Every structure is written in C-alpha cells, then in structure tokens.
C-alpha cells in the first residue's frame, strides 16, 4: 500500500500493482467499487458514545440539522460548526436506543471534536444530562461498498436475510451477529454513491 498520514493514523491511499502508476491504481480501485465490491478499513474514524436523557437536545445544538425525530435504529449525516461558524467536522450519528447514540467523526478531527463536546457540556450547557465517551479504540470497522456488497456481507452473517433492503433500509442501523456468534453493528451508509455498509465489531 501507499500510505498517507491522517490524524494519528496511517491510511492506505491505494494498492499499486506491479508496473501500475498511482493514478492507475486509484482508477482501478474506484472502478472495482462501482462494478463489483471494495473494502475500506474505517477503524480510524473517530467514534464517540453519547448517552443520557438530554442526548437529542445536545445533538440538536452541536449539529446544523435536527435530531429530535431520529428514530432508534436510524443514522443521520450531520455538519458540526465551530465557534467561527465554519464547518469543523462532518460524520454520521447512529441512534442505537432511546438515549444511546454513536457519533462518528473524520479521522483527523476525532480528538478536536471530543474536546469541543466536553467543553460545551462542562462550561456552557452544564444543565444537560449527557455523557460523552471516546470509543474510537473500542470499535474496529470496515466499509463494504459496491453492487455486490450485500452478497458479501450476507455470506458473513449468521442470519443472511437480515441484510435485505426491507430489514436494513438506507441509513438503517442494527445489531446482529457475524458467523461464529460475533456481535456487530451494521449501518447502511454510503459515501461512494454505491450500495454500502459499515460493520463495527
């Protein structure tokens, strides 16, 4: 792999084959994601657990879009602004249950977002009953994207019908098990424009 620094991590930019230029490798990998299936190690995304009675109120305040009506088992994409009104970060937040959310950040801004959320709760909104916890290191994650993504994931699940369009629609989130009884979270989220899922264990 050709690596690049992203925050505290090194991330593969492309996997060049013998005699292949970097641009050709990117083109080949992109085409594979469009026509077949591709995988990306998403473990480096920042992950923050947000829990508490006022979690939805808190999310409404830190993102530009509304979170009050997000149902359990659904995810939403959000933009987070800094004090200057400029975009600080973007990512998805998953509502796992009534007062339990999993927020993802970009790789580079994970620590910055965590500090910002803690500052807001400790200095500005002390009345909110919310706890934020960095869980980046607790979750390994992979994104599977492309027209064959559902087939690949179904082959890894203990209950393959779980991954149907009806059971897990776009922006759906659910707990299930991989073969071998491994608990996991699956979200149907796409940043490639193709059918895609993120699997967290």
* Alpha carbon 135 to chain centroid, angstroms: 12
CA distance 175 to 159: 12
Q: Give me the mean pLDDT over the 6-10 stretch.
A: 78
Q: What is the mean pLDDT of residues 34-56?
A: 93
Q: Given this model, what pLDDT does residue 84 score?
A: 87
Q: Is 135 helix (H, G, I), strand (E, B) or coil?
A: coil
Give the three-state DSSP class for 124.
Answer: helix
User: What mean pLDDT do residues 51-59 have?
Assistant: 95
In sign, the C-alpha dihedral spanning 90, 115, 65, 98 is positive
Give residue 67's pLDDT band: very low, low, confident or very high (50, 70, 90). Answer: confident
Q: What is the pLDDT of residue 198?
A: 95
Q: Can you tell me the mean pLDDT for 15-23?
A: 95
Q: How far apart are CA 30 and CA 103, in angstroms?
A: 27
The answer to whether residue 130 scores a pLDDT higher than 90 is yes
Read out DSSP for 75-116? Answer: EEEEEEE-TTSSEEEEEEEEEEETTEEEEEE-STTHHHHHHH
pLDDT value at 26 more than 90: yes
- Please report the pLDDT score of residue 100 as a whole number: 96
The answer to whether 42 and 48 are in contact (CB under 8 A) is no
- The residue-averaged pLDDT of 53-61 equals 94
CA distances from 114 to 29, 40, 68, 164, 175 (A): 33, 24, 21, 34, 25
Q: What is the pLDDT of residues 88-123, one digit of tens each?
A: 999 999 999 999 999 999 888 889 999 999 999 999
pLDDT of residue 11: 85
pTM here? 0.88
Residue 187's nearest CA partner among 172, 175, 201 is 172
Average pLDDT, the chain: 92
Chain segment 145-173, per-residue pLDDT in tens: 999 999 999 999 998 878 888 889 999 99
Q: What distances in angstroms separate CA 60 from CA 64, 106, 143, one per listed residue?
A: 7, 19, 27
Does position 10 have pLDDT exceeding 90, yes or no? no
């Amino acid at each position: 792999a050709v690596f690049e620094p992203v925050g505290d991590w090194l991330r593969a930019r492309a996997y060049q084959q013998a005699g292949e230029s970097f641009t050709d490798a990117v083109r080949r990998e992109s085409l594979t994601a469009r026509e077949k299936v591709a995988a990306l190690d998403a473990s480096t995304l920042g992950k923050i657990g947000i829990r508490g009675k006022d979690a939805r109120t808190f999310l409404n305040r830190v993102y530009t879009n509304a979170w009050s009506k997000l149902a359990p088992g659904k995810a939403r994409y959000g933009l987070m602004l800094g004090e200057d009104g400029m975009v600080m970060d973007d990512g998805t937040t998953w509502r796992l249950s009534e007062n339990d959310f999993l927020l993802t950040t970009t790789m580079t801004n994970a620590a910055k977002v965590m500090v910002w959320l803690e500052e807001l709760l400790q200095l500005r909104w002390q009345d909110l009953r919310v706890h934020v916890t960095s869980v980046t290191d607790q979750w390994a994650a992979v994104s599977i994207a492309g027209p064959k993504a559902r087939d690949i994931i179904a082959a890894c699940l203990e209950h393959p019908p779980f991954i149907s369009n009806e059971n897990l629609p776009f922006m759906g989130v659910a707990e299930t098990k991989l073969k071998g009884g491994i608990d996991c979270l699956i979200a149907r989220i796409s940043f490639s424009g193709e059918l895609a899922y993120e699997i967290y264990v």
